[in-house]
Structure 1
Amino acid sequence: MGQSKIEVRRMSMRRSPVAVVALALVGFLLGSLAGCKHDDVRCSGQDVQDSGTTVVSGQSGQAPASPFCQRTPQVRDAITRAACPKCSCESITPDHLKLVRELSLAGTGLTALRSGDLSGLTSLEKLELTGTRLEVLPESLPAELSALKRLRLELSLLSRLPESVIQPLLDRPGFVWEVTSPARTCDRYEPKAEKAPGLSTSALEAALQLAPTHGELDVRAWKARMGVYLVGVPNDSEQLELFAVSVDADKQPSLLAKAEQPIRLPEGYDHAFDLAPYRITGTEVGFGLRLSHEEPVPNNQTASEEELQVFRIHGNKIERVLKTVVYRKYIRHGPPTVLVNEEGVDPGDWQWEDRFCSVIAVTGSKTNGVFNWVKVSSAQSTKPDTARDASAEVLPSVVFRWTGARYEARNDEKESYFFRED
């Protein structure tokens, strides 16, 4: 009797061939209904999960975790949306990853990228990282994203990236940095108000051997080098002479360095020292000088422009290492083209502004032992034109590299009404 019960139980666990075929057919239909596809890549029925279980070789159990599913959740989910929106992470295959050309991690709150998070994205050309809380990028990023042509990130992140991440991308032909600046407005540079340094004008005139006809002295304490003061002196030839002086314990100045070539400063042009720490090497810092001018220009508009020149003290000489336009504002008059024929439009009623603003950021990478600099730019417009978004637009960044005597860039904008190459 006991033997008979054992045989009955064994028979009840067997499945007929018809039942096996039926189960296989149901699995295939469920996979087809999932409809997970991306271009020519389709998720198979066996990849689709139901309540966390799958059927493999006729046995039921928990599916092993997919390596792709183990990636940082925000990254995994963003890739899944880009590769196969209707798929689960378990369904993503290497073929899906190869199809992704653009990936946005903006606004995800991502705090860290792990090595391997972006692996397999061999066709990715554009990566968006703004709106995250990233403080660094993995050193594997350039190698993992071999096709990357455009990287959009925030200035605070760029300034913290190590050379191992920046340099391979800088060396990649045609690579474009899109860097957003934290500045909320696009305005001209405003120097910080500082107390007068308290140096004797007569003592400075004697130390610098100034002509009696010099203009008003502009003296600033240079905090990057204690005890050093920068002096700008307009002369009667529409030029600005630059000096650096050191001061002893009795506040007596002595000449430290002088610019060999005065700065061109035509009548009506303004100037201001920019004492931000422009790091050149680990031990050397430069200082800036801003020149600005505004006046009417052709084509019924008014132009306002600002140029940044950066200098270093090298021995007893002040040498210019960078010259670039960092601010342009054009006040334009007349109706936008798309509205010219609109009824009731008076050309005299239309006026809008186009602004272009830039800041210089020091990166962690170097050329010939000197830090590379990046010019981060954005554009704003108040043009009442429905064909153009009036909000800020991030422009491709310009990378300045050290050439041995100065910084130069291949793609720096040279267009300017008031500032020319010299």
Structure 2
Amino acid sequence: MTSLIVCFPKPIAGFSPGLGVDTWNLRSLSQVPYSSGDGFRFPRRLARGTRILKCSGSHSSSHSWNVPVLSNNEVVEKLKLAREGREFLAMYSSVVGGITTDPAAMVIPLDDHMVHRGHGVFDTAMIINGYLYELDHHLDRIIRSASMAKIPLRFDRETIRRILIQTVSVSGCRDGSLRYWLSAGPGDFNLSPSQCLEPALYAIVIQKDFTINSTGVKVVTSSIPIKPSVFATVKSVNYLPNALSQMEAEAKGAYAGIWVDNDGFIAEGPNMNVAFVVNGGKELVMPRFDNVLSGCTAKRTLTLAEQLVSKGMLKSVKVMDVTVQDGKKADEMMLLGSGVLIRPVIQWDEQFIGDGKEGPIAKALLDLLLEDMRSGPPSVRVLVPY
């Protein structure tokens, strides 16, 4: 392999004067100590007399290997090209202390502990017709998650709330989603965040048209180990098990995977809760939140379901342990989350749920949730001043 290195007019610390340039390779360069004086380093601009030399690598080939050194303007242009077609409307970063509407500037430092160690938490609130849906419930959850993850807050709760609302206001987005993170912050690449300068807050507004799909789907039992309960209840950025579970489900032609805990009880999906209608279609049951993520959509659905009890469509609403056997024998099964709202499940593994069709309770709950999003009380809808 042929490589390019930068050779300086002055001697480079660590190299023998008799070493010919034809024998230099990347392995040699890795042994050169960094120096703040005349040692090996790359300046922003090459000094006068600097030469670019092709040097032989240990694995020679007929192809040249060249990594370009880009100017700031070139980096920005490439980032703009990479973001074309993506509806990123506005981003707040406490690192820069403000909001940007330039997608090329919507970046996070590589030395942020959230990036290279996963030491961060996040949450998402939907933007519906100019309102932030359940912002305060999501905000309470991310602050609780940050406390469990031992991430101190950069700002108090009310300041974070104002920043999030203003970021949506600047974006002009009326239908989409607001995703935000609390991080240990940038500092270094060590395991401990002790050298992080200060915690960070990031938020981004994404344009999104919500497509309501009530078609029944298939799910499978996930073979990916479930997160330990201490982590499952924290909405952290450590989503590798979730991603692997989702990939496994898609490879099997299913919509999502369902996790089962060590005691054999149903837990949750990769990014949604689950619920069942049992006892002849008259009882709504949902797995306990003790060892799974406390879903804001799931909890709101439990509240709204009381209206179906008043109408006589349901006799009761319960949160309880549910076995896989009982879940598969249910009259209805559904997924609940901000990404899916309420989605009926008609098949789990090889077994059909109920009669294999979308059930009336899932449809009624979806109608109640949509109405709540459109005209619910101020406790769940925060108006964004545009």
Q: TM-score w.r.t. structure 2 length?
A: 0.24
Higher relative contact order (CA 8 A, sep 6+): 2
Which structure dedicates a bigger proportion of its chain to helix?
A: 2
